[in-house]
Amino acid sequence: YVDRFTLFRGEYYALVVMSALGMMFMASANDLLSVFVSLEFSTLGFYILVSYLRDDLASNEAGLKFFILGVFAAGLFAYGISLVYGETGKLVFSDMASAPATPGLIIGFLLIFAALGFKIGAVPFHSWIPDTYHGAPTPVTAFLSIAPKGAALAILLRIFIVALGTFKPTWIYLLVAVSIVSMTYGNIVAIAQRNIKRLLAYSGIAQIGNVLIGLAAGTKMGNDAILFYLLAYLFANIGAFAVVIAVSQAIGRDEIEDYRGLGRRSPFLAFSMLLFLLSLAGVPPLAGFIGKLYIFIAAIKEGLYTLITVGLINIVISMYYYLIVVKQMYINEPIDPSPISIRGPMKAVIYVGLAGTLVIGIYPQPFTDWVVAATLMFANFVTPAATITPPTVLIGS
């Protein structure tokens, strides 16, 4: 893909590594200052990557919009840190747990939440996502659609569970509201999209709404469910974007109409896209279904029934626009009946996505064990009775 646009490959990969390192540092940070430095370090790389197609107007526009809103979010984060430090004299998350809920502290954390909401693409901090996903090089879009969300969610877990754990009766309403609005807005607007990358962008906004259900639960089980959900989302989303890249390389466009007759032109690509979209929708026995199930179980245990009801309604809505793509692939006649060839590396990425989507959905137990252990490393909040359990055990009980 990089060769196709005759880009500077060395700089491209260096920027990818730079952004990845920043997000790794961010996910392992234990204080607000380290989070801010790591966040900006990773975002600097993304500013350039999004606008890497210098001769493409859409890429330049996406990069400029991402940069302007990113700088604004950084300002919110920095001002939020100053308020929190001014009220508590502390920056380490665990040290803030005993701080009183003063107005300055609350406003500071609201500003920090707004900045991190920008990174995960939650409503109303999502305005950069559709244009950025559409205009950026598709591999950058795939990277941007999952990696920053994972790093930002790790920090949100630390903030709400470690630093603000005692204030759960207050902040739960904020998370419930943002979750409902993100799910509903993302799914409804996705119905009207005609570009596959924009459709996946709005789908990602809705998926973040699902993730926030687990965060609103505010328990160890909710934390485990979030990480499991992100793992399932990783394979389905990366696989879907790999199919988008393969089709784009053959056709030269990213419109949903270009997928007409894909089942005849490339049965492998069409079937792969079908599985990835069904996993994103939460259809069993795929990974996305198990991820949504764990999220909903965590919410049920905390009595968040309204949130669950809205989540189930949004699953039905999401099925509609995913099936629009499926209809184009399998029912509509192709404009150009010539077969689509797939390069070896791209086919390997799709195979990895398929393997993860199927294996996690059919045999989730090893992955649940892994996420239970992993969440203990970034959220020192242990309630063993609330860890996730395979669905069979829950049904049996």
- Kindly write down the DSSP assignment for every residue of 322-372, as one continuous string: HHHHHHHHHTSPPSS-SPPP--HHHHHHHHHHHHHHHHHHH--HHHHHHHH
Residues 136 and 1 occupy one common structural domain: yes
Q: What are the helix and strand counts (H, E) for the chain?
A: 17, 0
What is the percent of the chain with per-residue pLDDT over 90, rounded to a whole number? 43
Say yes or no: 117 and 65 in one domain.
Answer: yes
pLDDT in tens, 290-321: 999 999 999 999 889 999 999 999 999 999 99
Strand partners, 31: 92
Q: Which amino acid is at 277?
A: L
Q: Are residues 108 and 183 in the same domain?
A: no
pLDDT digits (tens, 9 = 90+) for 10-56: 778 888 899 999 998 988 888 899 999 999 999 988 988 888 877 77
Residues 338 and 196 reside in one and the same domain: yes
Check whether 384 has a pLDDT greater than 50: no
Confidence tier at 381 by pLDDT (50, 70, 90): very low
Instruction: Answer yes or no: do 155 and 217 share one domain.
Output: no
The pLDDT of residue 6 is 52
193 and 112 fall within a common domain: no
Q: How far apart are CA 364 and CA 86, in angstroms?
A: 45
The single-letter code of the amino acid at 120 is: I
- Same domain for 156 and 203, yes or no, is no
Domain boundary residue, one of 109, 133, 163: 163
Helix (H) or strand (E) segment spanning residue 199: helix 196-217
Domain count within the chain: 2
Q: Tell whether 369 and 233 lie within a shared domain.
A: yes
Q: What is the pLDDT averaged over residues 336-357?
A: 87
Structure tokens belonging to residue 298: 């965590």
Q: Domain boundary at 163, 195, 225, which?
A: 163
pLDDT in tens, 147-200: 899 889 888 888 888 888 778 778 888 999 999 999 999 999 999 999 999 999
Question: Is 325 in the same domain as 189?
Answer: yes
Residues in the chain: 397
**Residue numbers of the domain that contains 149:** 1-163
Handedness of CA 188, 189, 191, 192 (dihedral sign): positive
Phi-psi region of 332 (alpha: psi -120 to 50; beta: other; left: phi over 0): beta
β-pair partners for 195: 255
Is 72 found in the same domain as 216?
no
Q: In terms of pLDDT, which residue wins out, 336 or 215?
A: 215
Q: What stretches of 89-167 show up as alpha helix (H) in DSSP? A: 103-120, 129-135, 138-144, 147-157
Q: Of the residues 137, 163, 189, which one is the last residue of a structural domain? A: 163
- Verify that 148 and 230 share a domain, yes or no: no
Task: Point out the least confidently predicted range of 152-156, 242-246, 346-350, 393-397.
Answer: 393-397
313-324 per-position pLDDT tens digit: 999 999 999 999
139 with 189, same domain? no
pLDDT value, residue 105: 87
Mean pLDDT of the chain: 86
